[in-house]
Structure 1
Amino acid sequence: MNSAPAAILPLAGDYPYQIGTPPVRILSKYPIVSTQILHLAGHRETQQRAIIKFNEQEVVIYNMQATGPWFKIYNILRFLTIPVYKYGPHAPEIQDLVQRVEREILPVIVAGDFNITDETQDYDRVLKVMQDSLRKAGFGFGFTWSHGWELKLLVKSSNWRLNYPVFRIDCIWYSKHWDAKSSSVLEATESDRLPVAAELILLTAAR
């Protein structure tokens, strides 16, 4: 999970196993066997790969934080500008993730901030190797971003904040070893996005 320290503290009692360094951390009810810090495609953003002992089965967890899209500002009117999003630097990270997942033998869950929507080519690349829990077991649009985003980038000298989400950029994916029973967006925390949750059932153990 990616979360602010203040948001993590209330969860500590329910999730005794924790590991990671800011800005990423995994909280687990099950023992964490090992962990690895990643920088997909050699980029600056930080991700985690952990092996967790789920009952008698080891499973792989990727805690995802992808590079955000950058944008160029275009002036429409004297007082109004719009951002045009570009995803170029993002694609190598997704490709690196896909290749890692393809090499995994254990059951895999990948969760976190992907900074992509389901209308992008990067989303389709992930969909070729994993299942999207919201698509399989959720309902609605699943928007998670933004909660409390300042609108100064859109309207100059504005102090408005966008307090309802308009994009789904946070996802929980899983390998063929799992099935999704439910998936949902949760209530707001201190983050600038809404948290997501999924209930997964382990169908087959790795051989």
Structure 2
Amino acid sequence: MLKIIVRRTLLWSNICLVAALLLSTFLPGINPGKCWPAGFSGFFFPVLFPLCFLYTCVWAWYKKRKYVLMNIMAILCAVPAALTTWGVHIFRKNIISKETNSRQFTLMTYNTSSMGLERYVTDKDKEAAIYNAIASGSPDILCMQEFYTNDTPGKDQHMQRIKSAGNYPYHYFTGDKIHWESWHYGIVLFSRYPVIAASAIPCGESETGSGSTFLRADIAIKGDTIRVFAVHLISYMFKGEDYENMKAPKGTGLVYKMRSTFRTRSAQALQLAALVAESPYPAIVCGDFNDTPVSFTYKTISRNMQDAFLKTGVGWGRTLSYLSPSLRIDYILAQPPLTVHASKVFHPRPSEHFPVMACLSLKKN
């Protein structure tokens, strides 16, 4: 009797697992702005996929061939999503080392969480971690989201410090938000190559500044021009009272806020994808998407582009230091005329986000 109960429990839990895995795989293809449950689905994929393998082994031990086949079919359907979740280049040499006199260049993207600023006071440990990561990578092009700098003498003049320390003669700052005339927030790009044109393209509204514009910059590199989009798509921006108001009336509840975020972020993804498609130059998109690889956001933006981590990396590629070890939400995507040679995720501590860097080159026509 006990064996029957155990097997029936395994079977029904497995059926639920397979259904959840398939939903997690295919629902992200639907715009969550029109069907909001699709916005949640991909988040659970990194757990559901390995569990399906576990159930396959269990049914193989029980010698239940039809249940083994059920799981294998679900796994095969989910393989494309798995290949956007995990890097599989186990035996590839993935070391960023530019060849002398080559056309290679490096680019880093980093959500700096306001350079360690918390409640208008700088956390010196976080600030030091940010500068150490930048110095360690020494990228030719540095894109930073949630960037903060202060013009007041004696305050955090990060703009000048980074330009000087990194030897960056060129930069562009969106300056999306200003406090007290001298506290500046937004997205910034530093470059050792000439920035021949740059602009901030409106894409929404954000309390923190970053997330209200896309930074677009055309950069001249060794006789060619590339276009870089540095972005920070809208986040949930949850506050303490949001969790307390989970069941609040429409317009104030946590679920309503998430649905609104899904709608805005999917619109930003579509807008960004259109801008990339219109680019007259080979394009790179980098930044914090605030969404997983199994999501409408990622699918929309990454279409016909190369993910630097997936081209060269292995494992999770985690870029967020909390919530879940599977969260990769910061990306470097490059159009095919660009070659991805190597990539790296740095792990500065303490830091909310981990910076991502890639070594690329533009194919000579």
TM-score of Structure 1 vs Structure 2, range by shorter chain: 0.7 to 0.9
Residue 191 of structure 1 deviates from its aligned partner by: 4.9
Shift of 1:69: 3.4
Instruction: Tell me how far 1:88 sits from its aligned partner.
Output: 2.4
1:12 counterpart = 2:175: no
The aligned residue for residue 38 of structure 1 is 201
> Secondary structure in 2 aligned to 1:119?
coil
Does residue 97 of structure 1 match 2:272? yes
Which letter does structure 1 place at the counterpart of 2:191?
Answer: S
TM-score by length of 2: 0.45
**Secondary structure of the structure 2 residue equivalent to 1:96:** helix
1:171 is matched by which residue type in structure 2?
Y
The structural deviation recorded for 1:187 is 2.6
- Tell me the secondary structure at the aligned position of residue 111 of structure 1: strand
Larger helix proportion, structure 1 or 2?
2
Residues 179-205 of structure 1: CA distance to partner in whole angstroms, max 9, x if unpaired? 111112113267521111011121145
Aligned to 2:292: 117
Q: Which has the larger radius of gyration?
A: 2
* Structure 2: 5+ residue stretches without partners: 1-142, 150-155, 176-184, 207-211, 246-253
Alignment equivalent of 1:68, drawn from 219, 235, 241: 235
CA separation of 1:88 and 1:146: change in aligned 2, threshold 3 A: farther
RMSD: 2.8
Alpha carbons of 1:120 and 1:69: their partners in 2 closer, same or farther (altered >3 Å)? farther
1:132 Cα offset (Å): 0.9
Deviations along 1:56-77, one digit per CA (max 9) or x if unpaired, are 11110111111113667489xx
CA spacing shift, 1:165–1:195, aligned 2, 3 Å? farther
> Corresponding residue for 1:199?
359
Mapped partners of 2:205, 2:269: distance in 1:
11
Secondary structure in 1 matching 2:269: helix
Between Structure 1 and Structure 2, which shows a larger proportion of strand residues? 1
**CA shift for structure 1 position 11:** 5.8
Counterpart residue number, 2:315: 140
The residue matched to 1:13 in structure 2 has which SS?
Answer: helix
1:4–1:191 contact (8 Å) kept in structure 2? no
Alignment of 1:156-195 (within 5 A): 166-188=326-348, 191-195=351-355
Once residues 11 and 67 of structure 1 are traced to their aligned partners in structure 2, the CA distance between those partners, rounded to angstroms, is 27
Tell me, in whole angstroms, the C-alpha distance in 2 between the residues paired with 1:96 and 1:11. 31
Q: Which residue of 1 aligns with 2:220?
A: 53
Change (3 A) 1:98 1:31: same
**What SS is found at the alignment partner of 2:198?**
strand
Distance (whole Å) between structure 2 residues aligned to residue 178 and residue 115 of structure 1: 25
Relative to the length of structure 1, the TM-score reads: 0.76
For 1:96-126, what per-residue CA distance to the aligned partner results, in whole angstroms no more than 9, with x for missing partners? 0001111112111111111111011111112
Q: Distance in 2 between matches of 1:200 and 1:99?
A: 23
Which stretch shows the higher mean deviation, 97-106 or 8-17?
A: 8-17
Contact 1:47 1:63 in 2 (8 A): yes
What are structure 1's unaligned runs of at least 5 residues?
76-82, 148-161
Name the count of aligned residue pairs: 183
Other structure's SS at 2:294 match: coil
- Give SS of 1:12's match: helix
RCO higher in structure (CA 8 A, sep ≥6) = 2
